[in-house]
Amino acid sequence: VKKEMTEKNKKKVLTSTKINCSRCGKDYYVSFVADGHRNYFCEDCLKIMHHNRKKGVVKKIFDSQKKTTFFEFVCDVCDNFRKAIYDPQKINGQIYCKECLNQKKADDRKKTRKNTVIIKKSEKD
Ligand SMILES: [Zn+2]
Ligand SMILES: [Zn+2]
């Protein structure tokens, strides 16, 4: 058992290459051989970069199996990647998911209440 362990460890050392992440500068070990001719990024940065690429874009996708259209986007407020059946609303160029839009509406209502002299009116929406 001990011998096996050593051999496994040896293999791991041989196949992993230390890279320096071009984005955050962190040392990171990858299982492929780096050729040194391109930029390398650690897993965390790759995730962030992938996520950021999707930001600001609402992708309309047609599901031919379900015969429905859905939307893929990253909400600018909660920063979550969403798949939704609704086209998200854009306010000042920012994409809002349903939850954040509801939250914004609630916050706006609170703000207007604070800033205005109390005028009683019924709110229906
Ligand atoms: Zn990184
Ligand atoms: Zn959101």
DSSP for 81-121, written as a single string? EEEESS--EEETTEEE-HHHHHHHHHHHHHHHHHHS-----
pLDDT at 4: 58
How far does the centroid of ligand 1 lie from the alpha carbon of residue 72, in Å?
26
How far does the centroid of ligand 1 lie from the alpha carbon of residue 2, in Å?
35
94-114 pLDDT, tens digit each: 999 999 999 999 999 988 876
How far does the centroid of ligand 2 lie from the alpha carbon of residue 4, in Å?
50
61-87 pLDDT, tens digit each: 999 999 999 999 999 999 999 999 999
How far does the centroid of ligand 1 lie from the alpha carbon of residue 29, in Å?
11
pLDDT at 28: 85
Predicted confidence (pLDDT) at residue 90 exceeds the cutoff of 60:
yes
> Which ligand places an atom closest to the C-alpha of 40?
1
Residue 57's pLDDT band (boundaries 50, 70, 90)?
A: very high
pTM of the full predicted structure? 0.61
